[in-house]
Amino acid sequence: MELFTNQVLAGIATGAIYACMALAVVMIYQAIDHLNFAQGEMAMFSTFISWQLMQWGVPYWWAFLITLVISFAGGILIERLLFKPLAKAPVLTNVAGFIALYGIINSVAGLIWDFTIKQYPTPFGSSPFLGSQLISTHQAGMIGVTILLLVALYLFFQFTRIGLAMRAAAALPESARLVGINTSWMIALGWGMASAIGAIAGILIAPVVFLEPNMMLGVLLYGFAAAVLGGLTSPLGAVVGGFLVGIFENLAGTYIPGVGNELKLPIALALIITVLVFKPAGLLGRPIVKRV
Amino acid sequence: MSAAEEVVTEAPAVEAVPKRAMTLGLGTSLVVLAALVLAPLFVKNFIIFQMTMLLIYGLAVLALNILTGGSGQFSLGQSAFYAVGAYTSAILMEHAGMNYALTLPIAGVICFAFGFLFGQPALRLSGVYLALATFALATAMPQLLKLHFVEHWTGGVQGLVVTKPDAPFGLPMSQDMWLYYFTLAITIGIYVASVNLLRSRSGRAFMAIRDNEIAASAMGVDVALYKTLAFGVSAAITGVAGGLGAIAVQFVAPDGYTIVLSISLFLGMVVGGVGWLPGSIVGSAFIIFVPNIAESISKGLSGAVFGVLLFLVIFLVPHGARQVALIAQQILGKLKKN
């Protein structure tokens, strides 16, 4: 039983990261209707920026804040430079653009910071949380930050003018434009926020997976899975999906014989597909209404 | 159309390609064919090998093109079908001692069944959901091939070595050259069959589903059947390409068939032009040669160079090689008039 509780708690902790990543994915999906395949690499690059700042002697939380600002600006810049011109191009061309962006960021990060594995500090410490052996303070910190982030996003989208405008631009772009919302900038804002949220996910997971240019690959896949499982139209769904995927991944790795580390991802994906076959819009997603 | 309606009606994933614009004209086809037949006579064996791979990847891109460009379904799982085809050929040749040419139709049939069955659960998914499902298939395949209980057949992590066939009837040809012409013949056969398939009743059903699923079903198209059929046909062609690939490379191993292959094939389709069958060869050339060019420009930054080149292509011609062909056609038309 202790093993079970242990695995569930560890699953919740990694799930928190998947939830952050899934939130970032959903942010962009809401804004432009595409899955951003380069999201993980953007987060990795942000994490490297914060690491570099700390190497230069900037204290942790300042580095954290500065990185968020840089990531936000970077996200907007990428949208303006690369994806705004592609807005009218076919969907699949956009996907190719994401793959190209992935290659560029990955390769540039490798050139600047090389591919050796680096230690990344944690502000929470790695001692057991409140004296319990089940979960470390860093894991507890990850869960805490994710929940804070979700609450902040909820307040932003529910109670601020600009949050409302972003929701309007995502839901009914034509009508939003008619009431004077600059939908084009709302999309850019979505990119900026997604990029900043991704940076948070990267910084939180870096002490666990260590810092290197390919660190986010697995995380992004689980993030996608979480977003799709929870429903691509629902930020809350993304978070719920993240925790579920984290828990399931850990339990499957522990209890299903022959799964181990190698088959964890395919098993997690198989579960998600099974769920989707019965609930195609995801657990908390809005069903898609089609009209001919 | 009012704004509200625009939102609830999902735009098709792939824009419609007029039927006549799907192929090259007869004259252009003959020129391309002549170039493909004559080229190996003048180059070294290694280049012939690369040209063989060009045709093989071209076939795989063509298969994806039938699925995505034809029926509007998106797949990241093509590497899995490619792997099944490659392993079928390799196992039949090495364990059963079968003739290489006979293994290809078997690989095709097995992959057709595999794709058709996979298409069943995939029926309920579309767009990104289908992409995720096929993605799962692609990530699972290399791991499944390494499993213990199939190790005896697949060779596990080590993979299998495949013998390269000699030219038959004592033809005075190098192995590479024979394999090239063999591949070329199969490619031409499959290309012509694919063109005819898309022009047939089934092909029109695919395209109707791509353009508007509900309207297609209202017209009496059996949507479920044709969607799974598209998956099956696409998987079968990919399987044949995989088998040919195994013979050409003389080696199969699980790590040769990862998701990277699926992504490459996808990029090949986009660069060639979605729904434009001749573009498959152009796309295949892009995914074979551009990484090499990127590597030669800068070793450390090859990924970035590849990304920038890809961005250039999609900025300049968002519809891929099809757009280039269309522009060329218009210029030629103007020249003729003058």
Q: Quick one: what percent of chain B has pLDDT higher than 90?
A: 20
Q: How far apart, in whole angstroms, are the C-alpha atoms of residue B138 and residue A96?
A: 18
B-chain residues within 8 Å CB-CB of A273?
A: 121, 125, 132-133, 136
| CA B154 – CA B16 distance, rounded (Å) | 41
Interface of B with A in 229-258 (CB under 8 A): none
Distance from CA of B137 to the nearest CA of A (A): 7
Closest Cα in chain A to B3: A174
Identify the pLDDT of residue A71.
95
List of chain B residues with pLDDT < 70: 1-23
Q: Measured between alpha carbons, how far is A254 from B220 in angstroms, rounded to an integer?
A: 49
B125·A292 Cβ contact <8 A? no
pLDDT at A70: 95
In chain A, residues with a C-beta closer than 8 Å to the C-beta of B14 are 90-92
The CA-based diameter of chain A, rounded to the nearest angstrom, is 60
Report the pLDDT value the prediction gives residue A258, as an integer from 0 to 100: 66
Determine whether A287 is exposed, middle or buried from the number of CB atoms within 10 Å of its CB (0-12, 13-18, 19+): exposed
**Model pLDDT for residues B139-149, shown as the tens digit of each residue:** 888 888 877 77
A104–B307 CB contact, under 8 Å: yes
> Which residues are CB-contacts of B224 (< 8 A; sequence separation ≥ 6)?
B123
**Number of CB atoms found within 10 A of residue A27's CB:** 29
pTM for this prediction: 0.85
Can you give the pLDDT at residue A95? 86
Of residues A35, A99, A292, nearest to B267 (C-beta):
A99
- Distance, CA of A269 to CA of A253 (rounded, Å): 13
| CB contact residues (below 8 A), chain A span 81-120, against chain B | 82, 85-86, 89-93, 95-97, 99-104, 106-108, 110-111
ipTM exceeds 0.85: no
Q: Report chain A residues whose CB lies below 8 A from the CB of B269.
A: 92
A289 Cα to chain B: minimum distance (Å): 6
Nearest C-alpha of chain A: how many angstroms from B312?
10
B183 by Cβ neighbours in 10 Å (0-12 / 13-18 / 19+) ranks as: buried
**CB contact set of A33 (below 8 Å; sequence gap of 6+):** none
* pLDDT mean for each 10 residues of chain A (292 residues): 80 85 84 82 93 90 94 93 84 87 90 86 72 73 86 88 86 85 88 91 85 84 86 84 88 74 74 77 70 55
Give B301's contacts in chain A (Cβ within 8 Å).
107-108, 111
Of the candidates B146, B301, B318, the beta carbon closest to that of A107 is on B301
Work out how many CB contacts closer than 8 A connect A with B. Answer: 148
Looking at residue B7, its pLDDT comes to 37
